[in-house]
Amino acid sequence: MNTSAAVLRIRDLCVQVAADGEEILKGVSLALQAGRIFALVGESGSGKSVTSMAAMRLLPDALAITGGAVHMGGQDLFALSEAGMQSVRGARVAMIFQNAMSALNPVQTVGRQVAETLRLHTRLRGAALRQRVVDLFAEVGIPDAAARYAFFPHQLSGGQQQRVMIAMALACEPEVLIADEPTTALDVTIQAQVLRLIRQLTRSRELAVLLITHDMGVVRHTADEVGVMYRGQIIERAPVDDFFRNPREAYSRRLIDALPDLSHFQSAAAEELLLQLQDVKVHFPIRRGVLQRTVDHTRAVDGVSLAIARGETYALVGESGSGKSTLGRAILRLETLAGGRILFKGKAIEGLGRRAMLPWRREIQVIFQNPHSSMNPRMSVGDIIAEGMISLGLDLTAQQRRERITALLQRVQLGAQFSQRYPHELSGGQLQRIAIARALAVDPQLIICDEPTSALDVSIRAEVLALLQELQREFGVSYLFITHDLSIVPGLAHHVGVMQAGRLVEQGSAEQVLTAPQHPYTQALLRSVPRVDGA
CB of 32 to another protein, least distance (A): 16
For another protein, which residue of 18, 238, 392, 501 counts as binding (CB under 8 A)?
392
Q: Does 165 bind another protein (CB under 8 A)?
A: yes
Give the residue with the Cβ less far from another protein, 54 or 375. 375
- Contact letters (x/-) for another protein, 71-90, by CB under 8 A? ------------x--xxxxx
For another protein, which residue of 193, 278, 370, 459 counts as binding (CB under 8 A)?
370
Q: Does 91 bind another protein (CB under 8 A)?
A: yes
- The three state secondary structure string of 111-127 is HHHHHHHHHHHCCCCHH
What is the rounded distance in angstroms from the CA atom of residue 330 to the CA atom of residue 228? 42
For another protein, which residue of 334, 407, 466, 516 counts as binding (CB under 8 A)?
334
Q: Does 95 bind another protein (CB under 8 A)?
A: yes
* Residues 221/37, Cβ–Cβ less than 8 Å: no
The interface with another protein within residues 337-356 (CB under 8 A) comprises 354
Spatial CA neighbour of 509 closest among 302, 345, 312: 312
Alpha helices (runs of H) in 237-282, residue ranges in sequence order? 240-245, 250-257
- CB count, 10 Å around CB of 16? 18
Give the residue with the Cβ less far from another protein, 116 or 485. 116
CB of 370 to another protein, least distance (A): 6
Size of the site for another protein (CB under 8 A): 64
CB of 305 to another protein, least distance (A): 23
Q: How are the residues of the chain apportioned to helix, strand and coil, as percentages rounded to the nearest 5?
A: 40, 25, 35
CB of 172 to another protein, least distance (A): 8
Furthest CA-CA distance within the chain: 78
The interface with another protein within residues 407-446 (CB under 8 A) comprises 422, 424, 435, 438, 442
Give the residue with the Cβ less far from another protein, 58 or 535. 58
Give the residue with the Cβ less far from another protein, 329 or 402. 329
Q: Does 364 bind another protein (CB under 8 A)?
A: yes
For another protein, which residue of 58, 147, 268, 407 counts as binding (CB under 8 A)?
58
CB of 228 to another protein, least distance (A): 25
Segment contacting another protein (CB under 8 A): 11-19, 91-99, 245-253, 405-413?
91-99
Q: Does 103 bind another protein (CB under 8 A)?
A: yes
Three-class secondary structure of residue 192 per DSSP? helix
For another protein, which residue of 229, 304, 332, 496 counts as binding (CB under 8 A)?
332
CA-angle at 312, arms to 495 and 279, nearest 5°: 60
For another protein, which residue of 47, 247, 340, 388 counts as binding (CB under 8 A)?
388
- Contact letters (x/-) for another protein, 275-314, by CB under 8 A? -------------xxxxx----------------------
Q: Which residues pair with 367 in a beta bridge?
A: 449
Segment contacting another protein (CB under 8 A): 27-35, 94-102, 236-244, 302-310?
94-102
CB of 308 to another protein, least distance (A): 17
User: What residues contact 201, with CB distance under 8 A and at least 6 apart?
Assistant: 140, 166, 170, 177, 207
* Residues 525/188, Cβ–Cβ less than 8 Å: yes
What is the rounded distance in angstroms from the CA atom of residue 303 to the CA atom of residue 265? 28
Spatial CA neighbour of 15 closest among 6, 24, 7: 24
Q: Does 102 bind another protein (CB under 8 A)?
A: yes
* Residues 441/457, Cβ–Cβ less than 8 Å: no
User: What residues contact 425, with CB distance under 8 A and at least 6 apart?
Assistant: none
* Residues 185/99, Cβ–Cβ less than 8 Å: yes
| Beta strands, E only, 289-373 | 293-309, 313-317, 339-344, 347-348, 364-367
Spatial CA neighbour of 315 closest among 501, 519, 490, 505: 490
Q: What phi and psi values does residue 147 have, to the nearest 5 degrees?
A: -75, -30
Give the residue with the Cβ less far from another protein, 23 or 387. 387
For another protein, which residue of 75, 157, 376, 410 counts as binding (CB under 8 A)?
376
For another protein, which residue of 154, 203, 245, 253 counts as binding (CB under 8 A)?
154
Q: Does 105 bind another protein (CB under 8 A)?
A: yes
Burial class (CB in 10 A: 0-12, 13-18, 19+), 341: middle
CB of 149 to another protein, least distance (A): 14
What is the rounded distance in angstroms from the CA atom of residue 369 to the CA atom of residue 426? 16
User: Using CB under 8 A as the criterion, which residues of the chain lie in contact with another protein when the complex forms?
Assistant: 56, 58, 61, 83, 86-91, 94-95, 97, 99, 102-108, 116-117, 120-121, 152, 154, 165, 168, 288-292, 329, 332, 334, 354, 357-358, 361, 364-366, 368-370, 373-379, 384, 387-388, 391-392, 422, 424, 435, 438, 442
